[in-house]
Amino acid sequence: MPANSTRLSQFASYENQWMAIGDSAISFDPLSSQGMLTALYSAKLGAEAIFFQYFNGKEITNKENRILPLEVFQQYLENTFNKYMREKEFFYNKERRWNNEVFWKRRHENQSYLNIADD
Ligand SMILES: Cc1cc2nc3c(=O)[nH]c(=O)nc-3n(C[C@H](O)[C@H](O)[C@H](O)COP(=O)(O)OP(=O)(O)OC[C@H]3O[C@@H](n4cnc5c(N)ncnc54)[C@H](O)[C@@H]3O)c2cc1C
């Protein structure tokens, strides 16, 4: 079974009342060992977004701006995935011993293992 890097095109919809957390939102190359932490932290942010936005109707603020919890949740997943993709590219590009092997050829092509799925 392929272990592609995958993300949804969006992580939540206020209008349609859904959100995706953990592997259902973004999934990583198993070598990166990022799945558990991201699943737990996105669940925490997702729960906070539901609590504040859906039940309390309040916004969480930071020092600079007022930010809706749902946006915090979505931004976290967006940032996490972008950072992960940069790091993955960096580490795979360091490996040059088997340049002629299909496995490594594929991984040296830019983002050839990224899937973006529509919900
Ligand atoms: C072989 C392997 C090794 C890994 N090693 C690491 C590691 O070292 N470090 C790390 O951080 N991450 C690792 N991961 C990734 C990590 O396991 C996942 O990122 C993490 O478990 C995702 O958690 P989740 O809750 O989002 O999804 P899951 O753990 O997949 O939980 C989803 C649950 O929903 C259930 N489910 C699915 N459909 C339905 C349905 N229709 N109704 C009811 N229930 C349903 C499933 O049975 C499952 O129990 C590894 C993954 C694999 C496969």
- How large is the average pLDDT for residues 71-92? 91
Provide the number of structural domains found in the chain: 1
Q: Which two tokens stand for residue 51?
A: 């609590």
Q: Which atom of ligand 1 is nearest to the CA of 23?
A: 26
- Residue 82, domain extent: 5-117
The pLDDT of residue 51 is above 90: no
| pLDDT score recorded for residue 19 | 94
Q: Which two tokens stand for residue 21?
A: 């957390």
Q: Which atom of ligand 1 is nearest to the CA of 34?
A: 11
Beta-carbon-side half-sphere exposure of residue 21 (alpha carbons within 13 Å): 17
Q: Is 80 in the pocket of ligand 1 (CB under 6 A)?
A: no
- How large is the average pLDDT for residues 9-15? 88
pLDDT band (50, 70, 90) for residue 103: confident
